Amino acid sequence: MKRTITIRNIYDKEYETLQLDGIWKDVLGEPEANGAWLIYGRDKNGKTWLALSLALYLSKLKKVLYISAEEGTGLAFKNTMLRVGVDTTDTNLHLLEYESFEMLEKRLNKRRSPEIVFIDNLTIYQDELKKSALASFITKHPRKLFVFMAHEERGEPYTAPAKLASKLAKVRFHVKGLSCNVNGRVPGGVLMIDEKKAQLFHGNKVEEETPYL
C-alpha cells in the first residue's frame, strides 16, 4: 500500500520544466519536461512539419529522439527536414525508423538515453499497445517526455492507443489545414505552419499577431 501524500509534500516538490522562448513559450508556457503530448491531424496537413519543428527546437534544450516509424526516412521526410531547417551540426537530435516498444524500452533504460522521444506515429504501434500498455510505458519513465503522433478520424485521434494518448496528454496539438490549435494544461493558442497555404485553406486572412513556423 502506498503512503498518502501530504499537502506539504506537494508544495515542497520541485518540478523540472522546459524553459522555452518565442512562439513556443507563447502557446506552451513553462511545461513540465515529462509525461505525454499528442500531435494529431489528417494526412498531409502538416503534422510532420510541426513535429520536426518542435523536435528541432527542443533539441536545443534536451537530447531528442525522433522515431519516424510510419514514413521512414525517405525523400519526402528528408525534404521536410530541409524545409524545417534541421542542420547536420545538431548533435542533440537523433533519428530512427521503426523500432519496437520492446527495443525502445531497452534504449531508454541506458545511461545518457534520450530525454524527449517523438513517436510518429501510434497507428504503427496499435498491435503492440493493447489495453493499458501505453499508460504503463509512460509511467515506467517518469523523467521522459513522449510526443506521440496520430492520424485523425471524424475530428478525433485515430486508433485506441491514440485516444488513450489524448486523455493522458498534458498538451495536444490539433493540426488542420497547415495550422495548429494548441490546448491542454498550457496557455494554448494557434500556430500557422505555413502562412500562405493556411490562408488558402481557411479562406480568410491570417491575423498579424498569429505566430507561425
Q: Is residue 187 part of a domain?
A: no
Q: Is residue 13 part of a domain?
A: no
Dihedral of alpha carbons 82, 85, 88, 92, sign: negative
Task: Say what the pLDDT of residue 202 is.
Answer: 55
Segment 158-186 shows an average pLDDT of 94
The CA distance from 87 to 197, in Å, is 25
Cell of 37: 503530448
Total number of domains constituting the chain: 1
Task: Say what the pLDDT of residue 206 is.
Answer: 46
Q: Is residue 196 part of a domain?
A: no
Tens of pLDDT, residues 68-95 = 999 999 999 999 999 889 999 999 999 9
Q: Is residue 172 part of a domain?
A: yes
Q: Report how far apart, in Å, the C-alpha atoms of 128 and of each of 23, 109, 131, 159, 204 are.
A: 35, 19, 10, 12, 42
CATH no. for residue 72?
3.40.50.300
Tens of pLDDT, residues 92-133 = 999 999 999 999 999 999 999 999 999 999 999 999 998 889
Q: Is residue 199 part of a domain?
A: no
Tens of pLDDT, residues 30-71 = 999 999 999 999 998 999 999 999 999 999 999 999 999 999
Q: Is residue 198 part of a domain?
A: no
Task: Say what the pLDDT of residue 131 is.
Answer: 82
Phi, psi of 99 (to 5 degrees): -140, 135
Q: Is residue 95 part of a domain?
A: yes
The CA distance from 71 to 69, in Å, is 6
Q: Is residue 11 part of a domain?
A: no
The domain in which residue 62 lies consists of 32-179
